[in-house]
Chain A
Amino acid sequence: MVAPSMAVIPLESAVWAALHDVHDPEIPTISVVDLGVIRGVSAEQGRIRVELLPTFIGCPAITVMQDAITERLRGFADEVSVDISFAEPWTSERITADGRAALRAAGFAPPSQDVVVECPYCGSRDTRIENVFGPTLCRAIYYCPDCRQPFEQFKEV
């Protein structure tokens, strides 16, 4: 059996696959694809364009992600651009099921419209919010009295 070469995989699919290797610099267990910040990819005639939706406007990780994506896609095309888009707002519903699992595994409660936020460590639903503002713009601080563990939630936006 012959392994498929890059040439037979449509370029856009290859780009999407490669983007799974680029992670959120502030939560390195989740990829930019699972975080839902990639709005679209277009690839044609030596030019790749990736559209990126910021989670928060003032997020300093945006430029880090742009650089990391450009670096990862180097070699896929002569020209790679990663453009910021506000054509639709990033919302927490854009995080994939895999992304939510990755957040939990890293000790973050995924965003939830439910008023109850489940402890990512012990699953307790008896948690309380300590601060709606946390160490980064997208994170809030909670406490779980059951396992006596502070934890963070990726904010619902």
Chain B
Amino acid sequence: MTTEMTPVRRATRQLIQPDLPEFDSSGLDPALRTAIADLLLTMADDEFVVGFRDSEWTGIAPMLEEDVAFSSLAQDEIGHARLLYELRSALTGEDPDRLAFHRQPSEYRHARLLDQPRQGWAFTIARRWLYDTADSIRLAGLAASSFAPLADVVAKIRREERYHLMHLNAWLERLGTHHGKPRGKVLSALKALNPIASSVFAPIANEEMLVDAGVLSAPMSVLAARWRSEANARLCALNLRPISDAPPAADGRDHAVPDESFVWLWNEFTSVARLEEGVEW
């Protein structure tokens, strides 16, 4: 709308366009480079979508503290998404803004677990707890990645996610052990989410190549089993319904026919970007 950017506008702009440290990826095998880029897109899309889901609570959470907490969670996750889109862009030459805001709903690669509308507070807590526990196992599987720029970023992300997990664990316990309505709501949320809970670990393209190259410590199915065993120990301790043993569905990140709840969210988060092509805001 204007060619001159004020400092505030530039700062806002750079929220989705940071300066990622430069690195040389020219030595990477092209197939491996594509596999890493695909992995980064799944992670970035997860963080982006969960971040926007979190931001839906700003102003309407059950208590003021949670307005603040969920706004912080959202800011953290969008920050992680931004960095991961940027990392992918450094490999593919894409524009991170375009990745974030200018794809069709069917092109996003987030886990189906995050498609669901936010619904009530107990549902949000249950879904977010499932996502955070899964994400922490995935991040642990990347901590020693042979792709150094990813290992560096993951080290930083894990330090922040520790607080998210602490918060979600506390809420799961608070609601799950409160007999009556809160516990009932958590139980029905876990039941409803069970079939898609493991979608965070849906197989991704060329997983074996990533594992062989030491980018990822183990195949997604192995990480899923690790997650299930840790998450179920916690759920059982709270006498809550464990996650079923079924392996992650192959289509856990497939949005060829996008979920209508995600299309609604997509319309929300792309609304400003779609106002005018190439607009600065």
Q: Which residues of A contact B (CB under 8 A)?
A: 54, 56-60, 62-64, 66-67, 83-91, 130-135, 137, 141, 155, 157
**Closest beta carbon of chain A to B64's beta carbon, Å:** 9
Contact residues in A for B21 (Cβ distance below 8 Å):
83-87
> Do B156 and A58 touch across chains, with their CB atoms under 8 A apart?
no
In chain B, positions 97-152 with a C-beta closer than 8 Å to chain A are 149, 152
> Do A132 and B163 touch across chains, with their CB atoms under 8 A apart?
yes
Contact residues in A for B7 (Cβ distance below 8 Å):
64, 67
Residue with the highest number of chain B CB atoms closer than 10 Å, among A57, A130, A141, A157: A57
**Closest beta carbon of chain B to A99's beta carbon, Å:** 19
Q: B35 an interface residue at 8 Å Cβ cutoff? A: no
In chain B, positions 1-44 with a C-beta closer than 8 Å to chain A are 7, 10-11, 14-15, 18-21
How far, in whole Å, are A137 and B14 apart by their CA atoms in the complex?
17
Of the candidates B10, B75, B80, B163, the one whose C-beta lies within 8 Å of that of A155 is B163
> Do A157 and B19 touch across chains, with their CB atoms under 8 A apart?
no
Of the candidates B11, B162, B167, the one whose C-beta lies within 8 Å of that of A133 is B167
> Do B153 and A56 touch across chains, with their CB atoms under 8 A apart?
no
> Do B79 and A86 touch across chains, with their CB atoms under 8 A apart?
no
For the A-B complex, the count of residue pairs with Cβ-Cβ distances under 8 Å equals: 84
> Do A58 and B80 touch across chains, with their CB atoms under 8 A apart?
yes
- Identify the closest chain A residue to B10 (Cβ): A63
**Closest beta carbon of chain B to A112's beta carbon, Å:** 15
How far, in whole Å, are A132 and B69 apart by their CA atoms in the complex?
8
Contact residues in B for A130 (Cβ distance below 8 Å):
65
How far, in whole Å, are A131 and B170 apart by their CA atoms in the complex?
12
Contact residues in A for B162 (Cβ distance below 8 Å):
157
**Closest beta carbon of chain A to B167's beta carbon, Å:** 6
> Do B76 and A57 touch across chains, with their CB atoms under 8 A apart?
yes
Q: Which 3 A-B pairs give the minimum distances between C-beta atoms? A: A58-B79, A133-B69, A133-B72
Contact residues in A for B19 (Cβ distance below 8 Å):
66, 83-84
Contact residues in A for B160 (Cβ distance below 8 Å):
56-57, 137, 157
Contact residues in A for B83 (Cβ distance below 8 Å):
57
**Closest beta carbon of chain A to B21's beta carbon, Å:** 5
> Do A84 and B18 touch across chains, with their CB atoms under 8 A apart?
yes
Q: B157 an interface residue at 8 Å Cβ cutoff? A: yes
> Do B159 and A89 touch across chains, with their CB atoms under 8 A apart?
yes
**Closest beta carbon of chain A to B62's beta carbon, Å:** 14
- Identify the closest chain B residue to A130 (Cβ): B65
Q: B78 an interface residue at 8 Å Cβ cutoff? A: yes
**Closest beta carbon of chain A to B141's beta carbon, Å:** 18
How far, in whole Å, are A131 and B7 apart by their CA atoms in the complex?
31
**Closest beta carbon of chain A to B47's beta carbon, Å:** 10
Q: B155 an interface residue at 8 Å Cβ cutoff? A: yes
Q: B279 an interface residue at 8 Å Cβ cutoff? A: no
